[in-house]
Amino acid sequence: MGEFVRFEVDGGIGTIRLDRPPMNALNAQVQGELHEAATEAGTRADVRAVVIYGGAKVFAAGADIKEMVTADFRICRDNAKLGQPEILLGIIPGAGGTQRLPRLVGPAKAKDLVYSGRFVGAEEALAIGLVDKVVAPDDVYSAAVELVSRYVTGPALALRAAKAAIDGGLDGDLASGLRLETQLFTGLFATEDRAIGMASFVENGPGKAQFVGR
- Here the CATH number for the domain that contains residue 189 is 1.10.12
Residue 178 lies in a domain: yes
The packing angle between helices 156-169 and 192-204, to 10°, is: 110
Residue 186 lies in a domain: yes
Residue 19 lies in a domain: no
Residue 60 lies in a domain: no
Give how many domains the chain has, as a whole number.
1
Residue 96 lies in a domain: no
Contact 74, 132 (CB under 8 A): yes
Q: How far is it, in rounded angstroms, from Cα 166 to Cα 142?
A: 26
Residue 143 lies in a domain: no
Could you tell me the CA-to-CA distances from 68 to 58, 72, 171, 192 in Å, in that order?
13, 9, 17, 33
Residue 10 lies in a domain: no
Q: Over the chain, what HEC string results?
A: CCCCEEEEEECCEEEEEECCCCCCCCCHHHHHHHHHHHHHHHHCCCCCEEEEECCCCCCCCCCCCHHHHCCCCCEEECCCEEECHHHHHCCCCCCCHHHHHHHHHCHHHHHHHHHHCCEEEHHHHHHHCCCCEEECHHHHHHHHHHHHHCCCCCCHHHHHHHHHHHHHHCCCCHHHHHHHHHHHHHHHHHCHHHHHHHHHHHHHCCCCCCCCCC
Contact 82, 65 (CB under 8 A): yes
pTM score: 0.74
Provide block-wise average pLDDT over 10 residues at a time, the chain (214 residues).
88 89 79 89 90 80 55 89 90 84 92 94 95 92 92 91 90 90 94 93 90 89
pLDDT at residue number 72: 86
pLDDT at residue number 55: 78
Domain that holds residue 200: 156-204
Residue 193 lies in a domain: yes
Contact 75, 147 (CB under 8 A): yes
Q: How far is it, in rounded angstroms, from Cα 142 to Cα 135?
A: 10
pLDDT at residue number 25: 75
pLDDT at residue number 54: 83
pLDDT at residue number 68: 52
pLDDT at residue number 70: 58
pLDDT at residue number 122: 93
Q: How far is it, in rounded angstroms, from Cα 19 to Cα 17?
A: 6
Q: How far is it, in rounded angstroms, from Cα 45 to Cα 106?
A: 36
pLDDT at residue number 61: 67
Contact 33, 2 (CB under 8 A): yes
